[in-house]
Chain A
Amino acid sequence: MNKDLPHYVVTERDREVLAAIQGGLPLDPHPYAVIGRTIGMGESEVIECIKTLQQNGIIRRMGVIVHHRPLGYQANAMVVWNLADNELEIFGKQASKLDFVTLCYQRRPHLPRWPYTLYTMIHGKDRESVLERVETLRSLAPTDKVDFQVLFSSRRFKQQGARYFNRKQQLLTTAATQQSHFTL
């Protein structure tokens, strides 16, 4: 839950709209009108609904969801960092400003064997370019001796599309949609 926003209660109408747009907007000059027709709503009602959902953080943003591999981004690494509590905030903020960092999360460690608390996702054209980027990130770490691991994905076993609602508009699965932004 986004702590900065007051709690917004999603209505049935909201759920209908969310379910109708989850598969993507049609390539039509008036996509929101097309969406509206499928659920018996007017264009302006759909637009207002989506705006409200975005303002309240239910929809993070509308945008294009890219496939990174066809764009030439063949390699990705999850780089995990062992940072003290007082270092996390500064390093996390610095990391999230770099354009090659596509996700940046603080996660629960599993002591003593897994002390890593900050998770950064880094994409690149190949492993070498990912490692160069890791090095750039490492140079921002609080000490040269920072403990980190670079975990390359070597096989993808399952990546299902994000489907949030079934036909009855029940919340179905909340598959974590990649929010990555790839600069071409």
Chain B
Amino acid sequence: MRRTEPAPVLDSINRNLINMLQGGFPISQSPYQEIANRVGISEDELLWRLEVMKTDGIYSRFGPLYNAEALGGAVTLAALAVPEKEYEQITELVNAHEEVAHNYLRTHHHTPTLFNMWFVISTETREEIDTVIEQIETETGLKVHNMPKQKEYFLELKFTL
């Protein structure tokens, strides 16, 4: 659902912080002090700014981005062609699976597209991906198109300091 409220205003220090912190966070005894030094503010001010931005919903957390596959898990992108009048019903069936992590209705900007429902399935093992797909196919009567990742082009981290 589109949100319409205006974006909170970020001052230049907060912009700087968000740009920088997306690229990494120190793994050291006093990581916030290190960041504060880089930006030229005190550690107290940094912690306060981060607290406020978290409350404002600018970011969700500081933490690790895991490599799911390296942990033994499996993840794939799947697509369905859902008849428009069945969206709601099919959505409920698909989302009832806890292995479904993201589910988006996607439409082409001017012409119809083959697949309109796209979701991520993530499981502990590769075999479970197939099980979930089979279950969804049985429940919905629709063919689930499995589009596993074959290669990832890693993005260069960009700093705009």
Task: Please list the residues of chain A having a beta carbon within 8 angstroms of any beta carbon in chain B.
Answer: 1-2, 8, 10, 18, 21-25, 27-33, 43-44, 47, 50-51, 53-54, 56-67, 69-72, 74, 77-78, 92-93, 95-97, 99, 101-110, 113-114, 117, 119, 127, 131, 149-162, 164, 170-177, 179, 181-184
Report the separation of the CA atoms of residues A154 and B118 in the bound assembly, to the nearest whole angstrom. Answer: 11
Report the separation of the CA atoms of residues A177 and B68 in the bound assembly, to the nearest whole angstrom. Answer: 9
Residue of A nearest to B48 (CB): A27
Cβ contacts under 8 Å, B151 to chain A: 92, 105-106
Q: Which B78-110 residues sit within 8 Å CB-CB of chain A?
A: 79, 91, 94-95, 98-109
Whether B63 pairs with A32 at a CB distance below 8 angstroms is: no
22 A/B residue pairs, CB under 8 Å, sorted by A? A2-B69, A21-B63, A24-B63, A25-B63, A61-B25, A61-B65, A62-B65, A63-B25, A63-B62, A66-B18, A70-B56, A71-B7, A71-B10, A96-B155, A102-B155, A153-B104, A154-B107, A156-B105, A157-B104, A173-B122, A175-B120, A182-B22
Whether A65 pairs with B109 at a CB distance below 8 angstroms is: no
6 further A-B pairs in the complex, CB-CB below 8 A; given A107-B149, A131-B109: A96-B153, A156-B105, A173-B98, A175-B102, A182-B18, A184-B19
Residue of A nearest to B69 (CB): A1
Report the separation of the CA atoms of residues A75 and B80 in the bound assembly, to the nearest whole angstrom. Answer: 22
